[in-house]
Amino acid sequence: MFEDRTKPRTEIKDLGEFGLIDYITGDIELTQESSEYGVGDDAAVINPSGKRILVSTDMLMEGVHFDLTYSPLKHLGYKAAVVNFSDIAAMNAVPTQITVSIALSNRFSLEAVEEFYVGLKLACKAYNVDIVGGDTTSSKAGLAISITVIGLIDEQDIVYRNGAKEGDLICVSGDLGAAYAGLLILEREKSVFSANPEMQPELEGSDYVLERQLKPEARVDIIKILKDSGIKPNAMMDVSDGLASEVKHICKQSKLGAAIYEDKLPIDQKTWDAARAFNMDPTMFALNGGDDYELLFTVPQSDFEKLKDIPEVSIIGYTTDKESGINLITKNNVSTPLEAQGWDGFDIKVNKENND
Amino acid sequence: MFEDRTKPRTEIKDLGEFGLIDYITGDIELTQESSEYGVGDDAAVINPSGKRILVSTDMLMEGVHFDLTYSPLKHLGYKAAVVNFSDIAAMNAVPTQITVSIALSNRFSLEAVEEFYVGLKLACKAYNVDIVGGDTTSSKAGLAISITVIGLIDEQDIVYRNGAKEGDLICVSGDLGAAYAGLLILEREKSVFSANPEMQPELEGSDYVLERQLKPEARVDIIKILKDSGIKPNAMMDVSDGLASEVKHICKQSKLGAAIYEDKLPIDQKTWDAARAFNMDPTMFALNGGDDYELLFTVPQSDFEKLKDIPEVSIIGYTTDKESGINLITKNNVSTPLEAQGWDGFDIKVNKENND
């Protein structure tokens, strides 16, 4: 939908492999003190200065994790970087370096690669992350992206998924479900466009939910806010598959149950409006939509005073003993197993993240 | 050619994403002291204990880097790990951890994934490398593999490509060109098989060159030998694209020229035999074949005495000033620019490695 055929097109093969690498990496500067040597040798060199190293990796495949019909390559580059940054934030750290591998079919021109890298570099600049290596290769079909992210952290600051304690407050940053609302709108307009290419996509007024889907942010700001407030979560992870799935992960690894209050789920008005337009339940968007990249974490109840005035954080429930199970307390005050919230036909998943 | 249709087939979708991850990662044990936390959270945690961290990444795409007609998945898993280990060896270090991402179309069964991981885990066991994370996802077409490798090293031990000095001895480990010979044989038998599926592949007597192509090794043993001999190379890289290309990389980055002696190139008798069978020049196999994963390095002439009794290392030339260019001294004692050795039709490349 967003493709511009008036742009120039340079074939990648005309540059050759090393020409392409020079072109992409020519303007890469290292800004992290820990980046000793970046692109240009067999491996990058990082100086951790006594800290622990966090490593996480994500693979994004065309047609599975993204659809170039409505994902501009620049946005895709930005998102590919940010979803990795989010994994480091989820350990209570800030990302410092990434390596970037892309495989492209000859459908893609140099300009397309450049657009992807513009977005990627924009994200790296915004988050102060260095690109220290990668691989650029060809593909028989489609675009494949693999990013590995590194973060450095003091040992005592690391927050795992398995550290939640019974009676912890369960918290989430930002709001949930908007990215899924954005995805539904994009899928709807794609169907309309496929049926009639003369139709212009109806995207007006949906800026917020579209941006949440196409250009998400990693909540490294929350990591800083928590630190400044003297809060160290007991357990944390990022919300990529949907809140329900992530709550279960933390409960499973921490051997606990949980009670989540439906009326405490942070849902933006724009997400409500979109859900209503599709005649769907916004709670389901928040619980199962995914792709939010917010942080889900638990803190001891004693941190309540420190927490309550942070506007970007919502307390949505508490952890219980394992035997009580994982439950949703609905707006009608009915407790129902969170597992039971399965939704037939809820099968659109653009980003099944799984580092584990 | 090697496919066994009598084996059981389990669909990956029957396990689900998390089931697949549990299945693959269930038997992974961490053996490196530096691996503090592996699979199971948003990121792995590595304790570098004051060392520098080396990071390198490689992406392998079906139909570009490997052909499943003749690459058994087990071998592919082994090779995918080893080519990454080789990048760390090329910095004078030993690999310690990897993350592994694979994207698979529904053409692949659980048994296929398992076979890949059997080979991968075999390599990790042989090289004492821990699998600490990854991503498993689906693909619209074909198999994509992305591996990131980490190595730890004392700062003073790092060897870059750019450290060669004028008058250094240029050395290479093992022998060259065999992997390319293996590739040509596999490609020939594939053509025969395509034309007539009843024909059995003629692979007898080609074990050595086939193994060099399908199951290469990373020369971490050479790193140890050099250290034990008190040798620290001035510059080093691994031979993945072919010796000529790698010599040029080191010369370019070190701002030097080079003289390489054709009669000093280490070529195994089996590679000679294969080259003759194809009526081709074995020197070209060694210079441009690629996929050897041997180590190319330069040492000061003063190290000659330490070097001369290491059977696994050949001295193939020396570095010169930049203005003298990069030359091959042929068997007839003619000096000819190494650039001029281009070979029309020499376009089969199964592994275009490029961390830079």
Report percent pLDDT > 90 for chain A. 66
A199 vs B71 pLDDT, higher one: B71
Sheet strand arrangement including A326-329: A235-239, A294-299, A169-173, A313-320, A257-261, A326-329, A335-337
Q: Which pLDDT tens digit goes with each residue over A206-257?
A: 899 999 999 999 999 999 999 999 999 999 999 998 999 999 999 999 999 9
Of B138, B353, B356, the CB nearest to A40: B356
Q: Which residues 216-275 of B are in CB contact (within 8 Å) with A?
A: 237-238, 253
Q: Which residues contact A236 (CB under 8 A, 6 or more apart)?
A: A90, A91, A92, A159, A160, A161, A295, A296, A297, A298
Partner-chain contact A99 B148, CB within 8 Å: yes
Interface probe for A, chosen from B55, B107, B154, B296 (most Cβ of A below 10 Å), is B55
* Average pLDDT over all residues of chain A: 88
Neighbours of B3 (CB within 10 A): 11
In this prediction, residues B232-254 reach a mean pLDDT of 95
CA separation, residue A298 to residues A163, A241, A355, B43, B44 (Å): 9, 18, 20, 18, 20
| Confidence at A134, pLDDT banded by 50, 70, 90 | confident
Flag whether pLDDT at B354 surpasses 50: no
CA torsion, ordered A159, A162, A167, A171, to nearest 10 deg = 50
| Confidence at B345, pLDDT banded by 50, 70, 90 | very low
In angstroms, rounded to a whole number, what is the distance separating the alpha carbons of residues A256 and A237? Answer: 16
| Confidence at B201, pLDDT banded by 50, 70, 90 | confident
Q: For residue B58, what is the nearest residue in chain A, using CA coordinates?
A: A135
pLDDT at residue number A69: 87
Contacts of B64 in chain A (CB under 8 A): 103, 137-140
Interface probe for A, chosen from B57, B240, B245 (most Cβ of A below 10 Å), is B57
* Residue in A355, A354, A351, A292 with CA at minimum distance from that of residue A54: A355
In this prediction, residues A288-300 reach a mean pLDDT of 95
The ipTM estimated for the assembled molecules is 0.87
Interface probe for A, chosen from B30, B39, B41 (most Cβ of A below 10 Å), is B41
Of A47, A63, A354, the CB nearest to B21: A354
pLDDT at residue number B296: 98
* Average pLDDT over all residues of chain B: 88
Lowest-pLDDT choice from A61-65, B19-23, B47-51: B19-23
Contacts of B62 in chain A (CB under 8 A): 140
Q: Which pLDDT tens digit goes with each residue over B121-161?
A: 999 999 999 999 988 888 998 999 999 999 999 999 999 99
In angstroms, rounded to a whole number, what is the distance separating the alpha carbons of residues A305 and A315? Answer: 12
Partner-chain contact A47 B43, CB within 8 Å: no
CA distance A53 to chain B (A): 5
| Confidence at A344, pLDDT banded by 50, 70, 90 | very low
* Residue in A221, A238, A267, A242 with CA at minimum distance from that of residue A83: A238
| Confidence at A49, pLDDT banded by 50, 70, 90 | confident
B124 vs A194 pLDDT, higher one: B124
Flag whether pLDDT at B343 surpasses 70: no
Q: Which pLDDT tens digit goes with each residue over A60-118?
A: 999 989 999 888 999 999 999 999 999 999 999 999 999 999 999 988 888 888 899 99
In angstroms, rounded to a whole number, what is the distance separating the alpha carbons of residues B146 and B251? Answer: 29
pLDDT at residue number B123: 96
pTM to 2 decimals?
0.89
Q: Which residues 268-327 of A are in CB contact (within 8 Å) with B?
A: none
Flag whether pLDDT at A342 surpasses 60: no
Q: Which residues 129-188 of B are in CB contact (within 8 Å) with A?
A: 132-142, 144, 146, 148-151, 155, 158, 160-162
In angstroms, rounded to a whole number, what is the distance separating the alpha carbons of residues A43 and B160? Answer: 9
Lowest-pLDDT choice from A178-192, A291-305, B185-199, B316-330: B185-199
Partner-chain contact A64 B21, CB within 8 Å: no
Q: Where are the alpha helices (DSSP H) in B142-177?
A: none
- DSSP annotation of B39: T
In angstroms, rounded to a whole number, what is the distance separating the alpha carbons of residues A149 and A136? Answer: 17
Question: Which amino acid, one-letter code, is at A173?
Answer: S
Question: Which amino acid, one-letter code, is at A138?
Answer: S
Chains A, B: CB pairs < 8 Å: 237
Report percent pLDDT > 90 for chain B. 66
Of A25, A44, A355, the CB nearest to B43: A355
Contacts of B54 in chain A (CB under 8 A): 43-46
SS3 B271: helix
Contacts of A141 in chain B (CB under 8 A): 140-142
Partner-chain contact A352 B161, CB within 8 Å: no
Flag whether pLDDT at A347 surpasses 60: no
Flag whether pLDDT at A353 surpasses 70: no
Q: For residue B57, what is the nearest residue in chain A, using CA coordinates?
A: A134
Of B40, B47, B64, the CB nearest to A356: B40
> Domains along chain B?
12-157 (3.30.1330.10), 161-341 (3.90.650.10)
Partner-chain contact A61 B103, CB within 8 Å: yes
Partner-chain contact B141 A142, CB within 8 Å: yes
Partner-chain contact A137 B237, CB within 8 Å: no
In angstroms, rounded to a whole number, what is the distance separating the alpha carbons of residues A48 and A53? Answer: 7
Contacts of B222 in chain A (CB under 8 A): none
Q: For residue B158, what is the nearest residue in chain A, using CA coordinates?
A: A45
Of B18, B51, B355, the CB nearest to A133: B355
Q: Which residues 12-71 of B are in CB contact (within 8 Å) with A?
A: 17-18, 21, 25, 36-37, 39-48, 50-59, 61-65
As beta bridge partners, residue A147 has: A58, A100
Partner-chain contact A155 B47, CB within 8 Å: yes
pLDDT at residue number A103: 93
Of B45, B102, B139, the CB nearest to A52: B45
Q: Which residues 93-112 of A are in CB contact (within 8 Å) with B?
A: 97, 99, 101-103
pLDDT at residue number A37: 85
